Amino acid sequence: MEMERAFETLGVAPGASTEDIEAAYRRLCDDFDGRIGRVTSLALRERYAAARAELEAARAAALATAGREPVEPPPDDPRTRSWAVLGLAKGASALEVASAYVSLCEELDRELESAPTEALRRRCLEARAEIDAAYQHCAAAELAGADPVRSPSQDPVGYQTQMDETAFEVPKPEPAPRSVAIEVIEEPEPPPRRRRRRRPLRAMAALTVLLVAGVSGVAGYGWWSDADWFHGLKRYLPLPPPEELVEARGATEYLRQRIAEERRDIQQRVEQADERVAGLEAEGQAAAALPEASEQTRIALEEARARARRDRHLAELTERHIFASGGLAEAYGHMELGSELVEDGQPERGLQAFSEARRHLEATFRQLDEAETALGARSEALSARDAWVALAASAGLEAQDEILEGGTRLQEADLLLEEGQFAEATPGLRKASQHFRSALERGRRAVAERREELEEVQRLAEAEAAQRAEERSRREAERLAVARLRSDQSTEGEGAPGDRAAVKLVTIPAGSFFYGCNGLIDGECPRTELPGRRVNVDAYKIDRTEVRVSEYGWCVGAGVCTPPGTGARCNWKQPGRGDHPVNCVDWEQAATYCDWVGKRLPTEEEWEKAARGTDGRIYPWGNELASCDVAVMSASHSQACAGAGSTAPVGSRDGGRSPYGLFDMAGNVLEWTVSLHESGTGMRVLRGGSWQHEAGTMRSSHRQAAPPSLIHESVGFRCAQGAVVAENDSSRALESR
């Protein structure tokens, strides 16, 4: 044996060590011995034995020692070996021959699949070829009624049984008579007449022809006299089925399997979507401490939930209108009927039944495609609608005609889907999606335009801030001069403006709070107060009370502020009103005063957090309806609340304090903020109610637009200051007035 083939037979690399060769040899010997004891095929057992012998030679060659080739067993008699190869006794029935052949083929296929070496696979293929030859031999012997290997020349016994041995004996010649007197010329005796040899094969052929003719005559008479009997007889004849019947039967079975696979696939998609949602929910809980990861998980979780809802809806609709429909049941019924008709020998009717089943199954497949298409169109429509709703909530957009039309189309299509009319629902869903997408594009353009306007306003505000910075530098000299005069001046018992500015400030810590109208508590919310949401605000300071008339008088006396407006209800120059909030001032006058004392006007977010705290309450004091006991306001236009139809001294309603201890955050006067009401309008925001307003405007989320030039008896202000670095005396500032 060649060295390379020896290593290949053992399944080791050329040049392997002795230990590797011995280990591979023992492992393969154990495997072969197990196979030899397990198989029932004589042919395969002999080939395993030959492979075992070849393994010995390969081991010897691999170990570089002399080896001997396995001795091949003498060939068996072909008349008996074929039956032994199949594991049968000679003369077994055709059914036993076919059964043994199928079993051995299956066994060989398994052995071939698990063969560890190339040599063993070759042995399996050789055994398969011998089994095929043995099957052909035994099957032919069963059909012919005798062993086809035999021939008359090989089986003289069979030939002699048809002949009489005495028929071939030559008669003995009789003795010639003696001649008497005359010479008789004897004629030569003719040779014996040769008997004609019988030919059994010709007799058998003639008998077969007569038998076929008789059967044909009987069949023809049966067909002519009783067609049903003839068709029933065809069931027992080994005739191949029509090609059209085979094709129709195979097509229906294929469609049935495909529908079952589609059903399993839909159910698996639902289960996988639910598992995806559960996994993302677990990830969301684990990533709650990381804002960025939590936001990404939240978005993925929303998408997974939407996908799960769509898959579950598809499974529900298909199960109700397709898989549990009468059409599919009728298709399966036609398939069973077709099989019964074919078994009864009625292939034409069976073909009709299978064709009808195929028609129903193809219709079911079309319904599945229509359902998938309709649910996909619905998902697109819902995605476009949800995107518009999110944009409208963030930008304060109102519903357009296209949104209403898209919603109507979506409702009509949903009704068709619930009825199982998938093809009819798809056009409506696509039109609804078009309406929603069109509205979304318009909303995005509107938001982009607003953003441009806001950027323009911000540029103007920056220019204005630069101008005001120049004015502050110009006034610095004036402030220094006023500071020298503070110790010599007083107004109605009030301290100097610099001292009061420090005492009035209250620290508001950094953090988030609920900004805007809280629909869960307030009920119906005005559009200008939407959307309600949580807003984060840095730490800052704000005045505990509104700016008094006396405090504003210091700025006027310094020549920095202009005098407020005057009138019957304006507090400026009114006797005894020094402790009332200053009113009748426009936005510029309020900003100038705050800048003069080193402060600024608050933003509306800062104002609202100072008014309501962080728990989302409606009013500074809680959720109880406003009354004259907690706010200086108007009660049905009577003067009972305001005292005399005007403002009241600041801090006169102790029960209306905010969570941070601020007075008059609801009532007395409306207060200017630095915020714009809407971009591009130039209108500023007023916060809090006034002595002229009723209870509805006392809410902390109430906001009102006003032009910066407005001077009114109900409008005042308070100041704020930037972020807090350290506040060691905050408790004293909260308790003092």
Q: What is the mean pLDDT of each run of 10 residues along the chain (737 residues)?
A: 74 81 83 74 75 81 54 52 78 78 81 78 82 81 49 38 38 44 44 54 76 74 60 55 82 87 86 85 68 69 82 85 82 87 84 89 87 88 86 79 87 88 90 89 86 84 81 64 45 44 80 87 81 90 95 93 92 91 96 94 95 91 89 66 74 92 93 88 90 87 92 95 52 31
User: Coil, helix or strand for 320?
Assistant: helix
Cβ atoms within 10 Å, residue 306: 16
d(CA 624, CA 136): 102
Number of residues written out for the chain: 737
Q: DSSP assignment, residue 697?
A: G
Domain that holds residue 129: 3-144
pLDDT of residue 168: 36
**Residue found under tokens 């559960």:** 278
DSSP label of 686: E
Q: Kindly state whether residues 435 and 508 are assigned to the same domain.
A: no
- Report d(CA 181, CA 312) in Å as an integer: 133
3-state secondary structure 193-245: CCCCCCCHHHHHHHHHHHHHHHHHHHHHHHHHHCHHHHHHHHHHCCCCCCHHH
Q: Beta 684-687 vs 533-537: how paired, if at all?
A: unpaired
Both 406 and 515 in a single domain?
no
386, 501: one domain: no
Other beta carbons less than 10 A from residue 217's beta carbon: 10
Asked if residue 172 is part of any domain, the answer here is: no
For residues 504 and 613, state if they share a domain. Answer: yes
Q: 390 and 527: one domain?
A: no
CA distances 650 to 75, 590, 653, 691, 707, Å, are 126, 17, 8, 12, 25
CATH number of the domain enclosing 603: 3.90.1580.10
Assigned domain for 13 exists: yes
- Indicate if 419 and 355 belong to the same structural domain: yes
Give CA–CA dist 358/179, Å, rounded: 104
| Same domain assignment for residues 301 and 371 | yes
Name the 3-class secondary structure at 496: coil
Are the beta carbons of 334 and 354 closer than 8 angstroms? yes
Q: Do 714 and 626 belong together in one domain?
A: yes
Does any domain span residue 472?
no
Q: Are residues 434 and 529 in the same domain?
A: no
Q: Are residues 279 and 388 in the same domain?
A: yes
Peptide bond connecting 581 to the previous residue in cis, omega within 30 degrees of 0 = no
Please check whether residue 153 lies inside any domain of the structure: no
Boundary (domain end) residue, out of 128, 144, 160: 144
> 144, 161, 187 — which closes off a domain?
144
- Are residue 391 and residue 280 in the same domain, yes or no? yes
Residue 733 near residue 507, CB atoms below 8 Å: yes
Q: Which of 105, 120, 144 is the last residue of a domain?
A: 144
Number of domains in the chain: 3
